[in-house]
Amino acid sequence: MDKKDWDKIAEKYHKEVISPFQKGVINPLFKNLDNIKNAKEKVIADIGCGRGEILDILASKFKKVHAIDFSSAMIKIAENKASKENIKYHVRDMKDLEEFENRFDVIISVNSILMPKIKDVKKALRSINSCLKKNGKFFSIFPSMESVLYQAILIFDKETGKGVNEKTALKKARDIFEMKNYDFIKGVYNDEGLLQKFFYYFELKLRLKEAGFKNIKISKVLYPWRKDVSDFVIFPGKPRMWDFFVSAEK
């Protein structure tokens, strides 16, 4: 999605992008932030801060918070939502953050690296890396394409369980899953013209290493089976859907 798309969805953000901060989500981000030593002496940036869901939390943990987003509508909402005085707001594109080079001890980016063009994803990751001080920490959440495929398989299994043949079940599953809207090579979903990037585990490892990150660790953000989380079919009792949580260093 580009700037004009984010400006359009600013008010209805959580209808377009599932929040990893909602009730019932198992999210490793805060535990990792709590493990930062001497955080009160350090500067953190929330790049792609969106509506500023956790800016006040970050401000209570760190000396200074820089809230960065290329959508002026998002930044305006974030300014109205957050209340701490040690937050500074910037309307900037994460692909071009030269002014912040080597400036931050910690950077977080939550479901904000969603550009459908791979060259933009690469540029954003290199730009974020350049903003970190040496050995600085990067914590990020990326939408998982494997989780999307996992849900597709569950839908297919449910259809075959109805006793129909696999050909019929596959056609029904493809329709429910809206498979025609996915580009599985690029990892992009087309939601009525809004293009959103999803990531494969192996792809994340590759992109992050190419961008200059080291000590890359990838785990999961786990989502509950609920209608407000899944747009397709829910499967209570099955292992949870997930996004990827990345911990890395410069």
Q: Which of 118, 121, 116, 114 is nearest to 95 (CA)?
A: 121
Strands ordered across the beta sheet of 182-183 = 182-183, 188-191, 194-197
97: tokens are: 């953050």
Contact 112, 50 (CB under 8 A): yes
Reduced 3-state DSSP string for 95-123: CCCHHHCCCEEEEEEECCCCCCCHHHHHH
Q: What is the mean pLDDT of residues 230-238?
A: 85
Domains of the chain: 3-143+199-225+241-249 (3.40.50.150)
Give the pLDDT band (50/70/90) at residue 13: very low
For the cut 60, the answer to whether the pLDDT of residue 14 exceeds it is no
Q: Which phi and psi angles does 10 have, rounded to 5°?
A: -50, -45
Query: What is the C-alpha R_g of the chain?
Result: 19
Q: What is the mean pLDDT of residues 224-241?
A: 87
94: tokens are: 């994460």
pLDDT of residue 4: 52
Q: Tens digit of pLDDT for each residue in 81-109? A: 888 999 999 999 999 999 999 999 999 99
Contact 3, 70 (CB under 8 A): yes
Q: What is the mean pLDDT of residues 70-74?
A: 90
pLDDT of residue 208: 98
Q: Tens digit of pLDDT for each residue in 191-218? A: 888 889 999 999 999 999 999 999 999 9
For the cut 70, the answer to whether the pLDDT of residue 79 exceeds it is yes
Q: Which residue has the tokens 């970190």?
A: 132
Per cent of the chain over pLDDT 90 is 79
Q: What is the mean pLDDT of residues 16-24?
A: 79
CB atoms within 10 A of CB 68: 25
Q: How far apart are CA 179 and CA 169, in angstroms?
A: 14
The alpha carbon of 180 is separated from its chain's Cα centroid by a whole number of angstroms, namely: 23
Q: pTM of the full predicted structure?
A: 0.90
For the cut 60, the answer to whether the pLDDT of residue 7 exceeds it is no
Q: What is the DSSP letter of 240?
A: P
Residues near 238 by Cβ (< 8 Å), separated by ≥ 6?
154, 225
pLDDT of residue 193: 84
69: tokens are: 């987003």
Contact 127, 136 (CB under 8 A): no
Least confident of 42-51, 120-129, 185-194: 185-194
Mean pLDDT in the chain?
Answer: 91
CB atoms within 10 A of CB 179: 12
Q: What is the DSSP letter of 182?
A: E
**Could you give the C-alpha distances from 50 to 43, 58, 79, 89, 117, in angstroms and in order?**
19, 14, 10, 11, 20
Q: Tens digit of pLDDT for each residue in 142-182? A: 999 999 999 999 999 999 999 989 999 999 899 988 899 99
For the cut 90, the answer to whether the pLDDT of residue 12 exceeds it is no
